[in-house]
Structure 1
Amino acid sequence: MSKQRTWPRHVAWSVLGLGLLGLLAWALLPSPVPVNAARVTVGPFTDSVIEEGRTRLRDTWNVSAPIAGYLQRVTLEVGDSVEEGQTLFRLEPSPAPALDVRTRQQAEDNLQAAQARLQAAQANLDTARADQRFAEAEYERYRQLHLRNLISTAELEQRQNQRDRLRALASSAASGVEVARFEVESARALLAVASGQRSEADQPLLQVRAPVSGLVLSRHRCCEGSVSAGDPILELGSLDDLEIQVDLLSMDAVRLRPGMSVNITGWGGEPLKGKVRRIAPSGFTRTSALGVDEQRVPVSVDFSRQLDLATLGLGSGFRVDAEFLIWTADEVLQIPTSALFRHQGGWTVFVIEESRASRRTVELGRRQGLVSQVLAGLDQGELVIIHPGDRVAEGVKVVVDE
C-alpha cells in the first residue's frame, strides 16, 4: 500500500502567490481604446457651395398715374395676364371741391354781376353799331356830293375818318360782349359745383395702356379715388425673365465664374439646372442670425433651359437652394473630414495598424463638407479613426466599435 504524496506547505504558498501576481499584472494592463473608424475610399467627389436664394424678375415695369386726376376702379388682379397696348386703368379729371355757404353766396353774386356786365356790354354794342350805320350812310352821301364837286376833299376825308373810328368802336364793343359772356359762363360753372360730386355728363378719359405683355405682379391701387402724378398703380413683369439671386459669402463668390453649373433644389419640385450669369462687382454687409457681420456678394443665376414656370408653379420671390458646382471628379481618394486634426502645423490622421493607432501626416486637396480629398499619405482601403479623442495617441491599442 503506497502513501499519497503531499507538497510541502511553502511550495503551495509560492504557487498561490505567483498566481495572484499574474492576475494583478493582467488586471493592470491597459485595455484597448474603443474608437469609430472609416475606410479610405475612392469615389465621386464634388466641390460645391450651397446657399439659399430667391427668385426674381430681371425686368419689371411700374405703371404709375401720368397726371393728377380721379382714378376709376382697377379691375385687373394680381396674376392676370395682359397684352401690350391693353388698357390697364382709366383717369378722369378731378372733381371740383364743394362750396361752403359763404363761397356759394359769393359765386351767386359774381354770376349776377357778370350777367349785368353782359347786358351793359350788349347795350354798348347796339349803340356802337347804330353809330356805325349812321356814319356809313353819311360817308356815302358825302362821297356822292364830292363826285359832283359840291364839297371839298377835306370834308369827305373827315367823314371817312369818322366812319372808320365808329367801325373800330363797334368791333371793340363786340369783343366786350364776348368777354362778358365768358365771364357769365365761368361764374355759372363755379356756381354749379355745390357738393363736390363728379358730373354725370361724359368726362374726357385718359386710358393708360400696358407697355409690355406679361403678368400683373402687384396692385398698389384698386379702388377709385384721387391720385397724384407719379403715384404707382400696377407692377408688370414676364416669367420669361425669371432668374435667381443668391447672396454668397465673399470668400465663396471669388471661387465662382460665369457659366458654372448650378443645381436648383428646395423649391418644392424636381431638381432644376441653372448656370451662373453674373457675379456682382461689389458686395454689402449683412448681419447673420448670430449677430456676425458678413460680407455678401449678389450672384445671378439663369435657368439652363426654357421652362414652363407657370405650370411648375414658380414665381417671383420664391425660396430655392442653389448648389454651385465648382469642381467634380469621378474617382477621388477621400476620407471623412472628421478624421482630420492639426499636428505640428500639418493635417494628420490616426491610421489603425495591427490594432494600434498610428499617426500619419496627409496632404489634402479640396474639402467639401463631410469629406476631404487626399492627395498623399494614405492608400485606398486603409482604416482611419474618426473623431479621435484624448485617449487616442501614437501606439495606443484600439478596438473598433461595431
Structure 2
Amino acid sequence: MTSRRWIRPLLWSLASLALLALLAWALRPAPVPVSVARVSAAPFVDSVIEEGRTRLRATWNVSVPIAGYLQRVVLEVGDDVEQGQPLFLLEPSPAPALDPRSRQQAEDMLQAAEARLRAAQANLETARAERRFVEAEFERYRILHQRNLVSTADLDQRRSQRDRLSAIESAAASSVEAARFEVASARAVLAVASGQRDDAEHPALEVRAPIAGKVLTRYRCCEGSVAAGEPIIELGNLSDLEVQVDLLSMDAVRVRPGMAVRLTGWGGEESLAGVVRRIEPAGFTRISALGVDEQRVPVIVDFSEELDPAALGLGSGFRVDAEFLVWQADEVLQLPTSALFRADGEWRVFRVEGEHARQVPITPGRRSGLATQVLDGLQAGDRIITHPGERVAEGVRVHIDE
C-alpha cells in the first residue's frame, strides 16, 4: 500500500515534466530559413568591364586648297579609293552676271577705251611722220657737214631732234599697247552675262586621295562655290581600328599599358583579344544615367596583331564590351560577395555548423563581380550564408532553403 501511494505522485510528476518539455519544444523559435553557398577553389579573374567604341587611329580630311567652284562629288560613303585617285574636281569661280545698269556702264567703258585706242594710234602715226621727217633732215645735214657746208652745231641740233622724236614715237607706241589692253579688259567685263565658264579656257583642278582606304564621311556632294579650306571628304583605313574605353578614374589607375583585354559584345560569338596601348593622362567629367558626375579617363586598346577588324565587319564608331584582365589565377579560394558584412571593424561571414549559424571573421582579398577571394578564415567546402538578414545572429538555428 505504501509503494502504491508513492507511484501515483511519481507518475503525475513525470507526466507534468513531459508536458512541460512538449510545451517548451512547441514554443521554441522556429529555425530561420537561409540560403547557403560553399566556399570553393576555382579559377578567379579580377577584371574591369566597361563599354567602349571603335575608332580610327588616323583619319584624313580632304579639303579645298583654294576657293573655287566644286563639281559634283560622285564618291559615296563606304567607297574604296586608291592612293592618288581623283576625289573631286575644282574649277575657278564664275564671274557674277551683270545687271542692266552695270552692262550699260561696261558698254560705255568699252567705247571710251576704243576711243582712247584710236587717239593713241593717231598720235603714233603723227610721231612716226615727224620722226621720218627729222631723220631725212638729219641725213641731209650730215652730208652737208661732210662737205663743210654746215656747222657741227647745226648737225648736233638735228641729231637731238631725231632722238627726241624717236622717244616720242616709242611713248606713242606704248600708249597704243596700253589702250589695246584697256579695250580687251572692257570687252571681258562686257562679255560676262550669265556667269558661265569656258572649260577650254579654265581647266578643272583634280584633288587626289592622299591614302588608300574608304570614304568615311562626305561633307559636300553637290556642285557649287566653296571657300578655301572647306572639308569635302574624310578618308580612313579600317585596318587601323582601335578601341577607346572611358574608364572610371578609380579603375583606370589599376590598368597598365600592355595589359590583356577581352573584347565581347561586338556582334560575333567569339571574344577578340586586345592589349592596352595608352592611358590618357587627363580625365574628364561625364554625367551618368543617374545624374551623378563621374570622372572618366580614356584608355586606348589595340586589337591583337593577328586580327583584322575590317574583315570581321567592324567599322569606326562600333560598340564593344572591354574586359581588362587585372589579375587571374586557376585555383583561388572564393565565396559570394553577398555573404560578407562588417562587424566590429572587420569582415565576417555566417558559417553553418550543424543547424546553427556561427560568425567567422575572415580576410578577403580581390573582388571580381559577385565573387571575393578568401585569404584566411575559411576552408574549401565550408557552407556560408548568403544575404544574411536581421534574423540571422550568432548561434541562431537555421534551415537551409533549398
Deviation at 1:198, TM superposition (A): 3.2
Deviation at 1:311, TM superposition (A): 2.3
Q: Hey, what does 1:388 align to over in structure 2? A: 388
Which shifted more, 66-75 or 83-92? Answer: 83-92
Q: Hey, what does 1:222 align to over in structure 2? A: 221
Q: Hey, what does 1:346 align to over in structure 2? A: 346
Q: Hey, what does 1:209 align to over in structure 2? A: 208
Contact (CA 8 Å) 2:55, 2:241: kept in 1 or not? yes
Residue 290 of structure 1 aligns to a residue whose secondary structure is coil
Deviation at 1:307, TM superposition (A): 2.7
Q: Hey, what does 2:3 align to over in structure 1? A: none
* 1:1-400 equivalence runs, <5 A: 20-199=19-198, 201-269=200-268, 270-400=270-400
For 2:153 and 2:85, locate their aligned partners in 1 and report how far apart those are by CA, in whole Å. Answer: 75
List, as ranges, runs of 4+ consecutive aligned residues in structure 1 with deviation greater than 4 Å.
Answer: 8-20
Q: Deviations over 1:142-181 (max 9, x none)?
A: 1121122211111111111111111111111111111111
Deviation at 1:27, TM superposition (A): 1.8
TM-score, normalised relative to structure 1: 0.94
The AA in structure 2 aligned to 1:296 is R
Deviation at 1:308, TM superposition (A): 2.9
Q: Deviations over 1:233-270 (max 9, x none)?
A: 11111122211111101110011111000001111012
For 1:401 and 1:280, locate their aligned partners in 2 and report how far apart those are by CA, in whole Å. Answer: 49
Q: Hey, what does 1:4 align to over in structure 2? A: none
For 1:381 and 1:19, locate their aligned partners in 2 and report how far apart those are by CA, in whole Å. Answer: 40
Contact (CA 8 Å) 2:280, 2:297: kept in 1 or not? yes
For 1:386 and 1:53, locate their aligned partners in 2 and report how far apart those are by CA, in whole Å. Answer: 33
For 2:208 and 2:294, locate their aligned partners in 1 and report how far apart those are by CA, in whole Å. Answer: 44
- Structure 1 residue ranges without an equivalent (≥5): 1-7
Q: How many residues align?
A: 396
Residue 325 of structure 2 aligns to a residue whose secondary structure is strand
The AA in structure 1 aligned to 2:272 is L
Q: Percent identity?
A: 71
For 2:201 and 2:31, locate their aligned partners in 1 and report how far apart those are by CA, in whole Å. Answer: 99
For 1:95 and 1:129, locate their aligned partners in 2 and report how far apart those are by CA, in whole Å. Answer: 43
Residue 31 of structure 1 aligns to a residue whose secondary structure is coil
The AA in structure 1 aligned to 2:273 is K
For 2:30 and 2:65, locate their aligned partners in 1 and report how far apart those are by CA, in whole Å. Answer: 87
Contact (CA 8 Å) 2:243, 2:301: kept in 1 or not? yes
For 2:392 and 2:364, locate their aligned partners in 1 and report how far apart those are by CA, in whole Å. Answer: 22
Deviation at 1:10, TM superposition (A): 9.4
For 1:149 and 1:215, locate their aligned partners in 2 and report how far apart those are by CA, in whole Å. Answer: 93
Deviation at 1:204, TM superposition (A): 2.6
Deviation at 1:13, TM superposition (A): 8.3
